[in-house]
Structure 1
Amino acid sequence: MEVTSRLGLRYLWIDSLCILQDPEKDWKAAAALMGDTYRNAYCNIAATAAEDGTCGLFVPRTLLDVEPCRVVANWRGHHRQPYYCHGIGVWEREIEEQPLLSRAWVAQEVTLATRVIHFSRTEIFWECLEKRARESFVDGIPNFTAKKLSVRARDERDREWFQLDDGDFPFHEVWKNAVQLYSRGELTYRAKDKLIAISGIARSLPLPNEDYLAGLWQQGLSEQLLWTASESNGEGSTKTARSSEYRAPTWSWASVDGPVLMTTPSLSALNHASVDILEARTTLIDPSDRYGQVSDGFIRVRGMLAFGQLSQRVTTTTTRHSFSNGQVREVPLDSGVSGQTIVHRFRGDCHINIFLDVEDPHPGGHYHCLLVSQQYGGCGLVIKPTGARRGEYTRRGYFAVLTALQPDSPSHFVKLCGTFEAATQDNEMLYEAKADVTSEGVQQYIISLV
């Protein structure tokens, strides 16, 4: 209230006081409007260093922290002149790695607000569409230290991105940054609200709401499927996990708990797409809220598949993995990506890296690979049959073909496609229907991802 008063404002919104938390119906109605609340607010006041709601904005600090470090240099051939030092990584250390930003809901608050005042451990920071500043650099933090992790576009062309509605709007880049920031946070009390807590940002994008599919968008959907689970959350390592309570299809990043890395659809990637999206749907729990919770969903695709078995042997320093009957390669345990890294070499000119979304408690077993893009040698999804319906699969991870020869050629993955065709001879449950044959002579299949 003191900060609000000193800003010359009369009204203050506090979520915990202004929203009824217990009645589910009231809470959902208010949650759907929270994006408008933050986007239309004059300023967002952030207790960035506070561990919880009892800490407040103001903390004991040393005034030397807000005084710029002034150095007078006397280099040979130069006149004596003062220089001001700004530590590299201050924004990351004092803002992005602080307790407030570890809460998933806050990603929406700091993203949609036109202005944010951060109360950190050492000084006050300022963030808006034009600049980032701090008490010791009131005219703006030097550009080279400001990592653009916020979904706000800071160049002149995209400054008013909330008002843009033409084809130049970089919505895929905006959404990618928003999801990556959001996925680093935690939903302590309502894990099932994974989609609701980012719905305000989704509503702000100039796209038809019918294009929204449980955290992904119809436009550029095939490329968006290539997200990967990441262990890095700014505070060490954490394992991603699949939610025990259903909240999204496995092909959506919202189905896992933990940091994810998103890909940005590009014209080049779309030109290399090797999977056709035939149908994509989700079932909304509340049909009136396109950006809310879903009860199920599926994507029906046509594409090329490979079949193989993963196995591993753990030693004291490395894990050895193999896919199908390929040669074995040693991979460090600490890969930096969640789950297991499986490497397969064939014909000596390339290998396949497979990154599972979550650590498999029972390593090994049969998996399938669906080629999504031919770019950079090929990449796609690691999938596994559900056994419930013919041609129905769940996503288990991501794979990438790494090669030094003709990086845009799909031929390396094509070499493995015969393994899937052979497997279908004994099990027609592996596909819904056969499709056409590619120019490389590879049989395509129609399957569904749930």
Structure 2
Amino acid sequence: MPTRLVDVGQAGSLRIVETKPNLIHAPYATLSYCWGGKNQLQLTESSLEDFKVEIPAWQLSFAILDAIYVVRQLKLRYLWVDSLCIIQNSKSDWEKEVITMGEVFRNSAITIAALGAKHSEEGLFARRDPLIYQPCNLFRRDGKDFFVKSQVDDSQFSDDWFEKSPLHQRGWVMQERALSPRTLNFGATLIWECSEGVKYEHTMDFELGTNSQDSPGNPTIKSRLHEPLKDEIAPDQTSLLFKFWREQILKPYTMTILTVKEDRLAAISGVIESIGKSTGWESVYGLWMPFLVEELLWHKFVFVPWRGDWRHQNDKDKLGQSRLRIAPTWSWVSLDIKIDFDSSSGKAPIRLFTTQVTVVSNTSILSKLGANPWSSRLKVMSKLYPSGSAVKGRSDLFNFLVDQTSFQATILFDIVPSTPKPYYYLPLIAQHFPNWYRAGDGGKIRFVGIVLVTSTDFPRAYERVRYSHSYVSQTVADDLLQNELISIELV
């Protein structure tokens, strides 16, 4: 149970109740909504005792008032709302509650989502023509009713419309939506989400009460996170779950908006904890330990016109302006950018370039929220190659040196470059592309890795600044792969 709940009762009074002292174990609803608007009544240290007696309903926003109405209609007594159940001016209370926020939504009976509201003053309900949704009984013959129903334009309720709704642009909503066992979305239409599917109001069969066709939306977000725990995960299931995390959770999450950028890890920590519990995987600043080599190969989201995805079409392709001092440089958490991963992963035989990647210190996600990120370092046994000069006319292509041989590597900046420093190329995997250019040339080897600079704050350590890949001949590849491994520390 959450620490606090709003007791909506059955009458007009509202109050805050603390669950443990009162031994409350009852079904409750949660509210998912966008903050903002004029009426932002919040729980504070000074108002806590007063709110235990009565919450002044007239000061609440429409989103909360509408949610209270829905909760009462559902015959539930309790509602969890972040602004009223977390002490907003207490850092210690926020840090304690944010750790359990994922469980708050996972254990709720239902989440009420203000899908179409840009801020809390817009509320849950939309004005619309009821005849569009309500069938008209024309006549009765032989004991059967004959109805006519308006045809709704499905295009206005597409996947695109659903995913780009104001609520789904908010960073915190990703885990609220993913972890809630069932969600009732309010907007231009009602949308039901649970682990079995996503159902739209206008596709419901009004006689049978079931859907006449599948609705847009992706049901696997809830179903994957609410599957029963297993003692051992099969290799194919491990691969699918890892891909699910990247494609359906992490990438969409980094495209959302966080008012407080430092919440970048906290706002997704509930999902990370849930996956960790079901798999036994350990997370280190948003990267999964069993896949740490691949996880280091994240990069900024790049505009690719031919993919035909609205996220690419609307992306401004901005670099990070400065580091968020909440994670090491090797974690995507350290930058407020949209991220992606190497697109050719799994399409060609992969050889690990490095023999070992270890975490120097314990970096449990829950214990590290708000902690010093520089206490966590990675030690990599690999190879390191210094850069020569940038290729003339190309800001993303550099020469790197191995003995007396040079090779070119394409680099993608993570962050706006500051004072130029010598760059070092750290390859992590090698992929063989046979006959990539023409038959008989032995093919090409693709190196994928990251580009480092020496750390200003920590001697003999390196900071990540870029993702990089390069195609080299078999001869150059042999020279690279035969070099002696060295120990490299990343902060």
1:251-266 maps to which residues of 2 (within 5 A)?
Answer: 251-262=330-341
Give a deviation string over 1:402-431, Cα, whole Å, max 9, x none. 47x7xxx6x55556x5xxxxxxxxxxxxxx
Gaps of 5+ in 2: 1-67, 136-150, 205-209, 304-309, 433-445
* SS state at 1:57 partner: coil
Partner of 2:263: 193
Kindly state the Cα deviation for residue 289 of structure 1 after the two structures are TM-superposed. Answer: 3.5
Q: 1:268 to 1:324 in 2, by over 3 A?
A: closer
2:82 paired with 1:41: no
Q: 1:380 to 1:10 in 2, by over 3 A?
A: same
Partner of 1:175: 245
Q: Output the amino acid matched with 1:373.
A: I
Partner of 1:293: 370
Q: Output the amino acid matched with 2:427.
A: L
Work out the percentage of aligned pairs sharing the same amino acid: 25
Kindly state the Cα deviation for residue 198 of structure 1 after the two structures are TM-superposed. Answer: 1.5
Query: 8 Å contact 2:396–2:412 — kept in the other structure?
Result: no
Partner of 2:358: 279
* SS state at 1:254 partner: helix
Partner of 1:15: 82
2:141 paired with 1:108: no
- For residues 263 and 36 of structure 1, the distance between their equivalents in structure 2, rounded to whole angstroms, comes to 32
Partner of 2:443: none
Q: Output the amino acid matched with 2:447.
A: G
- For residues 182 and 118 of structure 1, the distance between their equivalents in structure 2, rounded to whole angstroms, comes to 19
Partner of 1:373: 429
Kindly state the Cα deviation for residue 52 of structure 1 after the two structures are TM-superposed. Answer: 1.1
1:24-103 maps to which residues of 2 (within 5 A)?
Answer: 24-62=91-129, 87=154, 90-103=157-170
Partner of 1:217: 288
Q: 1:55 to 1:449 in 2, by over 3 A?
A: same
2:209 paired with 1:133: no
Q: 1:282 to 1:185 in 2, by over 3 A?
A: farther
Query: 8 Å contact 2:178–2:225 — kept in the other structure?
Result: no
Query: 8 Å contact 2:299–2:340 — kept in the other structure?
Result: yes
The structure with more radius of gyration: 2
Q: Output the amino acid matched with 2:367.
A: R
- For residues 323 and 450 of structure 2, the distance between their equivalents in structure 1, rounded to whole angstroms, comes to 21
2:387 paired with 1:308: yes
Kindly state the Cα deviation for residue 283 of structure 1 after the two structures are TM-superposed. Answer: 6.1
Q: Output the amino acid matched with 1:137.
A: T
Q: 1:310 to 1:270 in 2, by over 3 A?
A: same
Query: 8 Å contact 1:231–1:258 — kept in the other structure?
Result: no
Q: Output the amino acid matched with 1:381.
A: I
Q: 1:63 to 1:164 in 2, by over 3 A?
A: farther
The counterpart of 2:318, out of the listed 226, 239, 243, is: 239
Q: 1:98 to 1:302 in 2, by over 3 A?
A: same
Q: 1:278 to 1:184 in 2, by over 3 A?
A: closer
Q: Output the amino acid matched with 2:415.
A: V
Aligned residues: 372
Kindly state the Cα deviation for residue 107 of structure 1 after the two structures are TM-superposed. Answer: 0.9
- For residues 120 and 102 of structure 2, the distance between their equivalents in structure 1, rounded to whole angstroms, comes to 21
Cα RMSD over matched residues?
3.7
- For residues 413 and 65 of structure 1, the distance between their equivalents in structure 2, rounded to whole angstroms, comes to 65
Kindly state the Cα deviation for residue 304 of structure 1 after the two structures are TM-superposed. Answer: 2.2
* SS state at 2:78 partner: coil
Q: 1:49 to 1:124 in 2, by over 3 A?
A: same
The counterpart of 1:6, out of the listed 58, 73, 86, is: 73
Gaps of 5+ in 1: 69-83, 327-345, 418-437
- For residues 302 and 208 of structure 1, the distance between their equivalents in structure 2, rounded to whole angstroms, comes to 27
Partner of 1:358: 415
- Structure-1-length-normalised TM-score: 0.71
- For residues 332 and 319 of structure 2, the distance between their equivalents in structure 1, rounded to whole angstroms, comes to 11
2:486 paired with 1:445: yes
Partner of 1:323: 398
- For residues 265 and 177 of structure 2, the distance between their equivalents in structure 1, rounded to whole angstroms, comes to 17
Query: 8 Å contact 1:220–1:265 — kept in the other structure?
Result: no
